[in-house]
Chains A and B, each alone.
Chain A
């Protein structure tokens, strides 16, 4: 379509795309801007866009009143540990399915996917009961395990699709050249598998960070991560826009940055390889 690349058409499309992009991004931008306003400026009529006195007081206030750092730490521990644990369990499984496939491999993969379809609310009470019995309610350990389990199918699937792209012939070539198993894994397989594992980790940290069914229902004061911290602003504190914005900005900033690195993996990870 080379002949259509007239500068005028390109300019027009650019304007349209930027308008759409900014419109979609606006709620996030507005939240970030509001977090630097005073409460009075936050509800000023007409709304203030950039022409206000920038202040950091809301960030200090949020930390002081609700100990943001503790929730942040819970989020980091739960999303980090659940991802790490999931990857440790999934790597061998995905590895064997990709390199030693059997007749049942496909069925096992599809069955794993089907556990992901189980609506959480359908098993809410059993899990709640088990948590009480085992003393796991409102603990980081309990939540870590649950979130690991709900993401495990995605982790296995993503790793499987990555591993399957590693050519098996290269292993035999390495063997011919006299590589032992250790050298094979260390110098041949690991370098090829690492990018896929890294992408998987990235996407699953994001999914775990934003999980908001089990975190809301299975935690209270102790193990609550940022999703629950923000939910505590639902009312009437939510009416303090500047503080709500500061809290929200702090809750989403880390993952927004990670997320931008994982755009490509998002498609593969969330469609189970159905769209690549």
Chain B
């Protein structure tokens, strides 16, 4: 149906978006790749020449590298576990016939719209402060010694804050998936004597597996680059220096651009490994 003229017009219409994104991807990426092979210290002499793979080796062998990988994994893993588990439960609950369903939905979704700097600061000061925080009041109420969350339990604190932000996302997607479930199938299973638990394990859970995968992949991509929550709370101290934060510090704080860029290349590779899986799922959906 499409004529040659309409094809040419279609290409013209696509051109601005394609060219812009191509530039946005290729220019900085090429620069990062270039810097990663240079000894580049803007504050201490500038570009000091070719460095080979030195930056790559030094980035990985620095004492901060493995702890940063560990912090990243704890945060990504912790938030994924919390949001998926609680998200499934919440989605099941919100799918039930209840009074005021719309209002409850709105309450549950709200945290997603709170900007990261606000949620991090509100949690850090008003909830987790060891003297005046709400948790400290609660702990004292039960006669316990208040916890200095941000220094004594820094990683769990960050996981808690970030999970609170992402739980609505997981819940909403899982709820959408549950609502697309074939009701008749559930009713048939019930007639055949399947209890609530076996209905959940054998029908609902398999139906949700795709949505859960999508939640995990999309969240992982965003969680790998969590930044503001650490920036305004611990500034990377107390073991909360993630790979993203470490690269940020190398590049902007200690102005070792060569080293930071090598770290950046690692981060890009890591993100792409996750992305490949996501793209496969999304791509399959496009054909359908």
Contacts and interface: CB of A to CB of B under 8 A. Distances in A.
Interface of A: 1, 5, 10, 13-14, 16-18, 20-22, 24-25, 27-28, 30-31, 34, 43, 45-47, 89-90, 92-93, 95-97, 99-100, 102, 106, 108-110, 112-130, 149, 152-153, 156, 206, 209-210, 212-213, 216-217, 226-228, 230-231, 233-234, 238-239, 241, 244-245, 248, 251-252, 255-256, 258-260, 263, 266-267, 270-276
B279 interface: yes
Given A21-B104, A275-B177, A121 B126 contact: no
B244 interface: yes
Given A97-B14, A118-B268, A241-B126, A18 B104 contact: yes
B49 interface: no
A126 B6 CA distance: 38
B96 A27 contact: no
Interface in B1-36: 2, 6-7, 9-11, 13-14, 16-18, 20-21, 24-25, 27-29, 31-32, 35
A5 B32 CA distance: 60
A119 B117 contact: no
29 contacts: A1-B183, A5-B97, A18-B100, A20-B93, A21-B104, A27-B164, A30-B126, A45-B140, A96-B9, A97-B14, A100-B6, A106-B283, A112-B17, A117-B221, A117-B278, A118-B25, A120-B227, A121-B227, A122-B247, A123-B31, A123-B264, A124-B251, A210-B114, A216-B228, A227-B117, A230-B117, A234-B232, A256-B113, A259-B110
A114 B275 contact: yes
Interface in B88-127: 90, 93-94, 96-101, 103-119, 121-127
Contacts of A121: 225, 227, 244, 247-248, 251, 264, 267
A47 B132 CA distance: 9
A10 B115 CA distance: 35
Interface in B47-103: 90, 93-94, 96-101, 103
Given A97-B14, A212-B115, A112 B100 contact: no
B257 A125 contact: yes
A241 B260 CA distance: 36
A117 B287 CA distance: 22
Contact of A119 (B112, B122, B224): B224
Nearest to A100: B10
Nearest to A259: B113
Given A1-B186, A31-B122, A266 B172 contact: yes
| Dominant secondary structure at the A interface | helix
Contacts of A228: 117
A258 B109 CA distance: 12
B265 A122 contact: yes
B240 to A, nearest CB: 14
Nearest to B217: A274
B198 interface: no
A227 B233 CA distance: 14
Contacts, number: 311
A272 B141 CA distance: 47
A1 B97 CA distance: 11
Contacts of A89: 16-17, 20
Given A123-B264, A274-B282, A108 B18 contact: yes
Given A118-B271, A128-B251, A234-B231, 8 more contacts: A10-B96, A90-B17, A125-B252, A149-B21, A153-B21, A234-B121, A238-B121, A266-B112
Interface string B255-277: 00100110011011011101100
Contacts of B286: 106, 109-110, 273
Contacts of B218: 270-271
Contact of A227 (B20, B116, B168): B116
A263 B274 CA distance: 26
Contacts of B145: none
Given A125-B251, A267-B172, A267-B176, A119 B225 contact: yes
B125 A238 contact: yes
B282 A255 contact: no
Nearest to A88: B16
A226 B119 CA distance: 13
Contacts of B204: none
Contacts of A115: 21, 24-25
B160 to A, nearest CB: 11
Given A27-B127, A31-B126, A123-B32, A17 B104 contact: yes
A227 B113 CA distance: 12
Contacts of A102: 7, 10
Nearest to A2: B187
B169 interface: yes
